[in-house]
Structure 1
Amino acid sequence: MSRTQRLFDLLQLLRCHKYPVAATTLAEQLGVSVRTVYRDIATLQSQGAEIAGEAGLGYLLKPNFMLPPLMFSYEELQALRLGANWVSKQDDQQMTLAAQNALAKIAAILPDSLKLQMERETVRVGPSAEKAAVAVPLSQIRQSIRRGVVVDICYIDAQAQLTTRRIWPVLLGFMESCYMLVAWCETRQAFRHFRVDRLKQYHETDQRYPQSQQQLLRAWQAIQGIPDNPIAY
């Protein structure tokens, strides 16, 4: 690997973290020594890269720093295509269209050699278990989450009882066998997981829940023992 490529890779790794990352972690991911990471960080800083931190504390690329355009590797292109193909198999037409448009935008800026690589299909999403039909459009649930509104639902619980709940929708999970809605339930005063195929009524109110969706998501993750997402976009 050339030094120029290594510097680009280091910038890319830093961009993928929203919290300071240790030089030892960067060195392991790049396959170089910690001393090399220190030298490369200093080089990038001298060339104008806004990298905060120092040895022993970790490094963080400031979010307003613009990276030069980077080419995708073959594996990255295949991963993007695989992910888009998986999304297109879900019961969400808006997400299907968004995935197709995203791939088209990526293909439009690729050089011809990489376009050929992207068109080569070496991996494919196989058939999955058929999900139960849903009465509530997934796009409507995603909109509720995005707007942060309180929702009234009628739900068939695990005991096959029809219950009425008032919830704060937080996260929509695309599971293998069903779609799962994570929400704060005012009735239970706790986070609950609702299968979307068991939602019989779904009505948005004109109220916004008092916390942000990100705050609720972090609280749910803490309960579940899920670390906060370290990836920064």
Structure 2
Amino acid sequence: MSRSQRLLTLIQILRRHRFPVAGTVLAQELGITLRTLYRDIGTLKEQGANIEGAAGLGFVLHPGFMLPPLMFSEDEIEALVLGSRWVAERADERLGQAARNALDKISAVLPSGLRDEMDASALLIGPSASPLPADIVQPLIRKAIRAERKAEIVYTDLKGEQSCRTIWPFALGYFDDARVLVAWCELREGFRHFRSDRISTFTVAQERYPRRRQALLRAWRLQEGISPQ
């Protein structure tokens, strides 16, 4: 691992922790000596990183420091390209275009060698067995999730029965054969899953729902037995 890559990795490790991390833990994760770690910490401070702490006490990175995204490993580049290609092929047109734009922005700031690696990535997305029809409600769903607002929907279940509901949308799952909205349903007083292609109308309300999105997501994962990511 080059020193520039090591400094970037050190920043990423510190960002994962809200509380001070012992120097021995950082050094072990990076595979370096404590002396090298202290030297790297000093270098990052000189570059403007607001790292607080000292030997024996641990280190914490305060928000606000950004390194230019110039260094990625080959695996990281392949992950970025593959993920963006999947979104471009499987998501709605607006999100797909956003994925293509993001790749263009990343490519523009990469050194020429890494840019060539990105352009030459051989990981491809295969055709879907059953392509999904255009789904006009997905952008509205994402808007409601980001704003943590209630929504009024008209939904048709598997039996063909239609109902009007007030929901608290907080997650959207992307599968090859469906897009599934996860929400708290006021009608059923519990978590429910709604296929987006069965939502005929989706109206974002002005009222925010009373719990934070992260809290709803944690409670839903606990109920479903899903480990936190």
TM class by smaller structure: 0.7 to 0.9
2:22 matched to 1:19?
no
What is aligned with 2:92? 92
Q: Distance in 1 between matches of 2:176 and 2:160?
A: 22
Deviation at 1:138, TM superposition (A): 1.0
* Pair 1:79–1:31, CA change in 2 (3 A): same
197-206 vs 105-114, which moves further: 197-206
Q: Distance in 2 between matches of 1:153 and 1:141?
A: 10
SS of match in other structure, 1:207:
strand
1:37-58 Cα deviation digits (max 9, x unpaired): 8646764587564334678886
1:177-232 Cα deviation digits (max 9, x unpaired): 21010111111111111111221332333332223333333333343344555xxx
Q: Distance in 2 between matches of 1:4 and 1:108?
A: 19
Q: Contact (CA 8 Å) 1:53, 1:60: kept in 2 or not?
A: yes
Deviation at 1:131, TM superposition (A): 5.0
Q: Contact (CA 8 Å) 2:151, 2:168: kept in 1 or not?
A: yes
Q: TM-score, normalised by structure 2?
A: 0.80
What is aligned with 1:150? 150
2:222 matched to 1:206?
no
1:152 alignment partner AA: E
Q: Contact (CA 8 Å) 2:69, 2:106: kept in 1 or not?
A: no
1:67 alignment partner AA: L
2:50 matched to 1:50?
yes
SS of match in other structure, 1:65:
coil
Q: TM-score, normalised by structure 1?
A: 0.79
What is aligned with 1:175? 175
User: Percentage identity across aligned positions?
Assistant: 43
SS of match in other structure, 2:211:
coil
CA RMSD of aligned residues (A): 3.1
1:147 alignment partner AA: A
Q: Distance in 1 between matches of 2:104 and 2:128?
A: 25
Q: Distance in 1 between matches of 2:2 and 2:215?
A: 42
* Pair 1:55–1:182, CA change in 2 (3 A): farther
173-182 vs 217-226, which moves further: 217-226
SS of match in other structure, 2:12:
helix
Deviation at 1:95, TM superposition (A): 0.9
* Pair 1:147–1:12, CA change in 2 (3 A): closer
* Pair 1:3–1:90, CA change in 2 (3 A): closer
What is aligned with 1:193? 193
The correspondence of residues 1-233 of structure 1 with structure 2, limited to 5 A, is 1=1, 5-15=5-15, 17-20=16-19, 26-27=26-27, 29-32=29-32, 35=34, 39=38, 43=42, 47=46, 49-52=49-52, 59-67=59-67, 70-133=70-133, 136-229=136-229
SS of match in other structure, 1:100:
helix
47-56 vs 133-142, which moves further: 47-56
Deviation at 1:167, TM superposition (A): 0.5
SS of match in other structure, 1:97:
helix
Q: Distance in 2 between matches of 1:65 and 1:206?
A: 34
Q: Contact (CA 8 Å) 2:173, 2:179: kept in 1 or not?
A: yes
73-82 vs 24-33, which moves further: 24-33
1:10-43 Cα deviation digits (max 9, x unpaired): 223223x14345667645542346x568646764
* Pair 1:198–1:4, CA change in 2 (3 A): closer
Deviation at 1:60, TM superposition (A): 3.2
2:67 alignment partner AA: L
